[in-house]
Every structure is written in structure tokens, then in C-alpha cells.
Chain A
């Protein structure tokens, strides 16, 4: 129960003023610019864009600055801003096959058309703190070789040709949108993917890890992981044709999963899919594992009670803004609820003590 109480305005104003001061930190240290955050904290910016579900690096960087680096708070700011924007249109589905790849690797085929392109990855670093970064300075320019930008084919396409992997049949169905209609369960795969791609990276990572440890095992290989720029094309109503209005950086992961067949499906490889805003490779891999785990029903697999197979569990708990809102509201005044509880406990104690005394 909630009661309206007044007061505290001055305390709140002063708390805001102090928050602003603390956010700035020691004024003798130069202030961070939004551009610095955008350029040098790019992966944090990417995470805020993915979970905020709005691609705009400048806004995400601003949100990070305002939130003092609390990424969930930054996501909250982006989600709130997003609701003020009119929705002009939906894009045509992006063509990830035409991606200008910065990175493209496959764990299933060593020699594949287009090759293994490592890109700017942490993978082969030694995870030793680089004390040289304590000093400022420009890194040596990365080497380049003359190359013609050209699209690289998807790995699953090769397997598909031999019928060894399930097909992902083309469709132009209008997907459900959980930002417009309340999520209804059971959700179809399109709705699940939307919920997961904007879900909390930590939550999706842990669920994916749980499938690897045996809670809804899916025997996943990373068929392909690619990161790069993809054009976004929109039908312009006043023109009657579509125009590429910009580019977004995306991370895409396709898993190839061992599948012995089921009551309804022949033995073949099955697929999990991850697609995330920005360079977000941990999230994209985790997304594809959770996507695959949630597909047990359509593939005729058994429900083993694993959390990652439980659509209600996954989808209703993936959103960190919903989660933090409900979690943190319990710190707000619940004076009347608590008074009632206090009364109840006092009464129960009195009854229990009376019984005890009577027994003695």
C-alpha cells in the first residue's frame, strides 16, 4: 500500500546538487567529453545502445556520462528518451550477408570463402594490464593491405546446400513488437529474439553458460561470428521507393547445433541466432545459445526443466530496466505496509508468549 506524503523537497534538491558535483568528481581533473566516451568507451556505448534498444552512439555516450558510468542507469535514460521519439517507419530487414566485415570467424570451418578475419579482438591479448596506457599517446597505426570491400558469404549457406542444416525459410511476416504491444506468451521466435537482443547481457550470458554446463544442453558450435557495418534501408512513403538512410554496426552469431533428430525432425544440424547492436560479441554468442535452447518445442525436444528452456522465465526476467525498477522500488517508502506487518508480528508474538506462559 502507498500513501501520499509531502516534504523532502529541499532534501531532494540538495541531493541532486550533490549528485551533480559527485558526478563531476575532482574538478582539478579534466572533464570527460561525450565524444571521448563515444570513441574510447565504445564497447560500453555499444552495450547501452543494445540494451537501451536505440542506435545512437552520441546519446548512449551522453547517458553514460550522466549516469556516472552506471550502464543500467544509462540504459534507463536511453529507454526514457526513446519513448519521446515518433516512430517514422520500420526498416527493411538488414542484409547481414552484405555486411562490410571488420571481423568474421568460424569455429566449424578452417578454410572458408572470405577467410578467418580476426578484426580488432581481445582474444589473443594476454589480459595483462598495460601500464603504458597510464601515459597518453597515440598507438602505432594498424597495418592495412590493399583490399576491395566485398561481401562474404554466410557459413550456414554451405551446410544448407547439402541439406545438413535446418533451413531458415524466408518470410515477410510483420514481426510482433514488444515495445508496442504487451508481451504475450507463448511468444514466437521473432518476439523472443527481440526480447533477448535488448535483454541484460549478464543475464543472457549466465543463461547461455547454464546450457553449456548441462541445464538444457544444445551442443553449440559457433558456425560464424561476424561484426561490421550494415546499411539500413527504409521505404520512404513520399517517394514510393526505399533509400539507405544510414549504417549500423552489428554483431551476428550463428550457432550450428548437434541434433540427433526428434519425434518430428530428422537428424541434422540446427541453428541458434544472435544479432546485437554494436560490437557485442559475448552477447551475440550468448543470445544464439539461449535462442536455440528456447526452440525445444518446435524441434520436438524434451523439456528438461532447465531455466534456459523456460520461455516465461527467460523473457520475463531478461529486461534489466523492468528488473531494476521492481527491485529498487522496495527501497522507497512502504511505511504503511510495514506498520501492518509490525502490528501482525506483535500480535503473533503476544499470542505465542501467552501460550508459552500458560504451558509453564
Chain B
């Protein structure tokens, strides 16, 4: 195991993970709002925000899929030491990390079963930046409308049609996160 993989975790896990969890919760509860998280320093090219989300939500019982450039030796070691999540293929993943083009085709991911809709994947989608410009988001947790620079709309509209099944999405860029749960309606553009 390369030594750098041993650095970059939470230094004070109980406090940092509780704060980060609150931010992730807020992001998912108010889809499209952009929030900041701190505390992780994962190996390149993974963002601070994606590292924080992984440290906060994943453990040895959440199979993880690393896509594209995120699937590098340094990152695999980092996950092994700090998180312990088993690395799996897309079909078995509870969480998946990568850029949108690397995660596609997204129909590979689990969307849950009618009796257990929670047995679905959460996608952590890395972007260059997050801005409140783009298709309008409406639905639970949004008073009128929010806007977010989504990589596309068709996939999220199709996902919304599966409700209560479907995957959930967390967008990350630098130290910013934004949530897009399966319940959110995405404007067609």
C-alpha cells in the first residue's frame, strides 16, 4: 500500500463526519442548493467534496464502484484504508463515484425493488464546477424552483419516472456538493 493513501482522512471523525452528514442531508433535502464540505483530502483526481461524501456515507457494508479516472491505484488504497468499502462493478454498487460520462450507461445501476426501494445506488458525480444555472428543479424540498448545471436532463427525467424506485445523485466539484434525489422533477431542456 502506498503511504500517501494513508493520509487525507478525517482527523476527528466523530465531529467531522457528523458535520459533513448534516451538509449532505441538507443538500439532499433541498435539491439543487450548493453547500460546502471540508475535512477530506483524497488522491487526485477525486475532489475534496467527493472524498467527504465517501468518508461520511460509506463503510465496509456499502459496495462501491469507482469509474473512469477515479478508479486508480491511489484511490483504491485510500478507500481500503479510510473506508473499507468493497470495490465492485456498477451492477452491485450501493455507491458509485466518477464523472458523468464515466458512469454512463447509468441504467447499469441498481434502482431498488418495490418492497425495498432503498436497495438502490447513490451516484457521486464529479463536475468541474457547480452553479445554480441550468434546468429548473421542482418537487419535494423546493419551494418554487431551483436551478443546477446538470450534465443532462433525459436520464434524470427517466429516473424520476421510476419513483419510488430510482438512484439518487450527489454532484461534487472542489469542496461543493449539491443533491438530486430521485424525487426531484427535472425540467426538459
- Are chains A and B touching in the complex at the 8 Å CB cutoff? yes
Which residues of A come within 8 Å of B, CB atoms?
Answer: 86-89, 180, 237-240
- A88 partner residues in chain B, CB cutoff 8 A: 60, 84
- B1 touching A87 by the CB < 8 A rule? no
Chain B minimum-CB-distance residue to A89:
B60
Cross-chain contact B6 with A238 (CB below 8 angstroms): yes
Whether B61 lies near A87 (C-beta < 8 A) is: yes
Minimum CB–CB distance for A219 against chain B, Å? 41
B80 contacts partner chain A, Cβ-Cβ < 8 Å:
yes
Contacts of B80 in A (CB 8 A): 237-238
Flag if A238 contacts B81 (CB, 8 Å): yes
A-B contact count (CB 8 A): 18
**CA gap between A349 and B6 in the complex, in Å:** 75
A–B Cβ pairs within 8 angstroms, 14 of them: A86-B59, A87-B59, A87-B60, A88-B60, A88-B84, A89-B60, A89-B84, A180-B61, A237-B80, A237-B81, A238-B1, A238-B80, A238-B81, A240-B1
Given the complex of chains A and B, what is the CA–CA distance between A255 and B163 in angstroms?
51
Give A236 Cβ to nearest chain B Cβ, in Å: 10
* Cβ contacts B130-160/A at 8 Å (1 or 0 each): 0000000000000000000000000000000
Residues of A near B1 (CB, < 8 A) are 238-240
Task: Tell me if B's interface is mostly helix, strand, loop or mixed.
Answer: loop
Q: Closest residue of chain B to A87, judged by CB?
A: B60
Q: A326 CA to B152 CA in the complex, in Å?
A: 49
Cβ contacts under 8 Å, B60 to chain A: 87-89
Given contacts A87-B59, A238-B80, A240-B1, 13 further A-B contacts (CB under 8 A): A87-B60, A87-B61, A88-B60, A88-B84, A89-B60, A180-B61, A237-B80, A237-B81, A237-B84, A238-B1, A238-B6, A238-B81, A239-B1
Identify the 8 closest CB pairs spanning chains A and B, nearest first.
A237-B80, A238-B81, A238-B1, A237-B84, A87-B60, A86-B59, A89-B60, A180-B61
How would residues 1 to 25 of chain B score, 1 for a CB under 8 Å from any chain A CB and 0 otherwise? 1000010000000000000000000
Q: Which residue of B lies closest to A180 (CB)?
A: B61
- Least CB distance from B110 to A in Å reads 15
Q: A180 to B61, alpha carbons, bound, how many Å? A: 9
Cβ of A240: which chain B residues have Cβ within 8 Å of it? 1
In the assembled complex, which residues on chain B have CB atoms less than 8 Å from the CB atom of A239? 1
Give min CB distance, B89 to chain A, whole Å. 17
How far is B61's CA from A237's CA once the two chains are assembled, in angstroms? Answer: 14
Nearest CB of chain B from residue A195's CB, rounded to whole Å: 19
- Chain B residues contacting A89 (CB-CB under 8 Å) are 60, 84
Residue of A87, A180, A238, A240 ringed by the most chain B CB atoms within 10 A? A238
Chain A residues positioned under 8 Å from B81 (CB to CB): 237-238
Docked complex Cα distance between A70 and B122 (Å)? 43
Task: Considering the complex, give the chain A residue whose CB is closest to the CB of B86.
Answer: A237
In chain B, positions 42-87 with a C-beta closer than 8 Å to chain A are 59-61, 80-81, 84
Determine the distance from Cα of A239 to Cα of B1 in the docked complex, in whole angstroms. Answer: 8
Q: Which residues of B contact A87 (CB under 8 A)?
A: 59-61
Please give me the residue from chain A that is nearest to B6 by CB atom. Answer: A238
**Residues of B contacting A86 in the complex (Cβ-Cβ under 8 angstroms):** 59
Min CB distance, B144 to chain A, in Å?
Answer: 30
Tell me the complex Cα distance, A236–B43, Å: 21
Q: Smallest CB-CB separation from B13: which chain A residue?
A: A86
Instruction: Give bound CA distance, A237 to B6, whole Å.
Output: 12
A332 to B109, CA, bound (A): 44
CB distance from B18 to the nearest CB of A (A): 12
CA A86 to CA B59, docked complex, whole Å: 8
**Measured CA separation A50–B60 after assembly (Å):** 24
Chain B 158-169 interface 0/1 with A at a Cβ cutoff of 8 Å (1 = within): 000000000000
When distances are taken between beta carbons in the complex, the residues of chain A under 8 Å from B59 are 86-87
Residues of B within 8 A of A237 (CB): 80-81, 84
Query: How many Å lie between the Cα of A239 and that of B81 in the bound state?
Result: 9
CA distance A196 to B186 in the complex (A): 49
Interface residues of B in 80-98 (CB under 8 A from A): 80-81, 84
In the bound complex, CA of A89 to CA of B6 (Å) = 18
Chain B nearest CB from A277 CB (Å) reads 22
- Bound-state CA distance A240–B61 (Å) is 19
- Most central of A86, A87, A88, A239 by chain B CB within 10 Å: A86
Query: Which residues of B are found within 8 Å of A238, using beta-carbon distances?
Result: 1, 6, 80-81
Of all chain A residues, the one with the shortest Cβ separation from B80 is A237
Tell me, rounded to whole Å, the shortest Cβ–Cβ distance linking A78 to chain B: 20
In the bound assembly, the distance between CA atoms of A280 and B145 in angstroms comes to 61
Q: Complex: how many Å from CA A281 to CA B95?
A: 43
CB distance from A48 to the nearest CB of B (A): 25
Chain B nearest CB from A207 CB (Å) reads: 30
How far is the CB of B61 from the nearest CB of chain A, in Å? 6
A88 to B60, CA, bound (A): 7
